[in-house]
């Protein structure tokens, strides 16, 4: 059976006065209903841009997009990248939905939350205002907001940050979408509320059998929620695998760098956390070799300075576990073992 979503060779470029920004290049992955994929990487690596392309949210006049994002629906496949704006409008909210880090950027300050949830429902359903209001209250209940019948009449500023994010989730899932893209949904929240929102996403996923794409720059938050992880660097996917493969058998130096910067309970206090030195490259002038080379502690192990001159292709290092690196999995494990022993 075909996966629910198949993204193939997705490339997004922004022509600017300074040159073309290659925000996302050759991104391919697939996702099934009920599955959670985390997309992880530093700020500016193309996480939002690639997913906004799937949602059809870029201005076509200022963006060059190629590749495909095929939704295998019961009614037949639709390629969201290459379809018309009317089809996209019908898909948004119903087939795919997206929530952002800052709920205030998506919630209107002058309308009650009940109105806004009902409005989202009316976009895809025929029904009276009373039915819309009832649906809004049900949704607030579902996302764990007490006194839903009263609170539908409140305005967004009357809710705390965590509660506003719950309202956003209610609005995003009111039409039972098949795919929910959550773009840094917990970044602005404190740790306890973060974990409550992630738990809520999991509950909603079970309720609606949704596929979830969780975008985050924090590898630490994904272990408990994701099934698979895509690691992005400078607009490209550099490693793709299950949570266990990424956390315990990573075969890419960048992922290993990210893992080294996560606090771990089994780490002694005197071992300082490592950060990856340096900055990602400009997406206008990408290096001709591996984009991670200037920061990579493994590059000297690759003969003939290949990392500087040749871009690594994506290869399958073990079944379903992909990485873009000139080194083999065995070489990475060996070098990593020695580097750890040195510390």
Query: Rounded distance, CA 119 to CA 126, Å?
Result: 11
43 or 277: CB nearest Mg ion: 43
Of 7-36, binders to ligand ATP (CB under 6 A) are: 14, 16, 21, 23
**75: contact with ligand ATP by CB under 6 A:** no
Of the candidate spans 38-46, 71-79, 247-255, 265-273, the one that interacts with ligand ATP by CB under 6 A turns out to be 38-46
Q: How far is the CB of 301 from ligand SF4 (least distance, A)?
A: 7
**48: contact with Mg ion by CB under 5 A:** yes
Which two structure tokens, joined as six digits, stand for 49?
């841009």
Question: Using CB under 6 A as the criterion, which residues of the chain lie in contact with ligand SF4 when the complex forms?
Answer: 253, 290, 292-293, 296, 298-299, 302, 307, 312, 325-327
**188: contact with ligand ATP by CB under 6 A:** no
Q: How many alpha carbons fall within 13 Å on the CB side of residue 43?
A: 2
**46: contact with ligand ATP by CB under 6 A:** yes
Q: How far is the CB of 304 from ligand SF4 (least distance, A)?
A: 12
Burial class (CB in 10 A: 0-12, 13-18, 19+), 230: buried
Q: How far is the CB of 325 from ligand ATP (least distance, A)?
A: 20
Closest by Cα among 161, 167, 172, 126 to 148: 167
- Phi first, then psi, for residue 69 (nearest 5°) are -140, 95
Which partner in ligand ATP, Mg ion, ligand SF4, none is near 292 (CB below 5 to 8 A by kind)? ligand SF4
Strand 179-183 to 96-99 pairing: parallel
Which two structure tokens, joined as six digits, stand for 214?
């969780």
- Ramachandran region of residue 69, left (φ > 0), alpha (ψ -120 to 50) or beta? beta
Which two structure tokens, joined as six digits, stand for 233?
């660097």
Q: How far is CA 179 from the centre of its chain?
A: 12
Q: How far is the CB of 245 from ligand SF4 (least distance, A)?
A: 17
175 or 216: CB nearest Mg ion: 216
Which partner in ligand ATP, Mg ion, ligand SF4, none is near 54 (CB below 5 to 8 A by kind)? none
Q: Determine contact, residues 154/146, Cβ cutoff 8 Å.
A: no
Q: How far is the CB of 49 from ligand ATP (least distance, A)?
A: 3
Residues that bind ligand ATP (CB under 6 A): 14, 16, 21, 23, 41, 43-49, 217, 283
Residues that bind Mg ion (CB under 5 A): 48
């Amino acid at each position: 059976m075909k996966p629910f979503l198949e993204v193939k060779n997705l490339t997004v470029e922004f022509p600017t006065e300074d040159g073309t920004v290659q925000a996302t290049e050759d991104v391919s992955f697939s996702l099934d209903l009920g599955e959670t994929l985390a997309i992880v990487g530093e700020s500016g690596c193309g996480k939002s841009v690639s997913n906004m392309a799937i949602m059809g949210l870029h201005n076509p006049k200022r963006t060059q997009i190629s590749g495909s994002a095929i939704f295998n629906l019961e009614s037949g496949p639709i390629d969201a990248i290459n379809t018309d704006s009317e089809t996209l409008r019908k898909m948004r909210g119903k087939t795919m939905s997206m929530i952002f880090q800052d709920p205030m950027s998506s919630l209107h300050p002058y309308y009650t939350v009940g109105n806004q949830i009902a409005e989202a429902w009316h976009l895809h359903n025929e029904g009276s205002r009373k039915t819309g209001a009832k649906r809004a209250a049900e949704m607030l209940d579902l996302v764990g907001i007490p006194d839903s019948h009263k609170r539908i009449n409140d305005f967004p500023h009357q809710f705390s940050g965590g509660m506003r994010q719950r309202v956003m989730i209610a609005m995003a899932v009111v039409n039972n979408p098949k795919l929910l893209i959550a773009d840094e949904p917990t970044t602005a929240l404190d740790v306890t509320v973060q974990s409550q929102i992630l738990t809520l996403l999991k509950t909603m996923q079970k309720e609606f059998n949704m596929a979830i794409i969780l975008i985050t720059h924090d590898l630490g938050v994904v272990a408990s929620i994701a099934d698979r992880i895509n690691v992005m660097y400078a607009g490209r996917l550099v490693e793709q695998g299950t949570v266990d493969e990424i956390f315990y058998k990573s075969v890419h130096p960048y992922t290993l760098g990210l893992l080294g910067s996560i606090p771990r309970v089994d780490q002694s206090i005197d071992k300082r956390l490592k950060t990856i030195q340096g900055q990602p490259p400009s997406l206008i002038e990408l290096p001709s070799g591996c984009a991670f080379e200037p920061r990579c502690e493994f590059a000297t192990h690759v003969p003939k300075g290949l990392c500087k001159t040749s871009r690594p292709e994506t290869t399958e290092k073990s079944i379903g576990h992909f990485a873009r690196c000139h080194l083999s999995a065995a070489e990475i494990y060996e070098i990593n073992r020695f580097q750890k022993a040195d510390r």
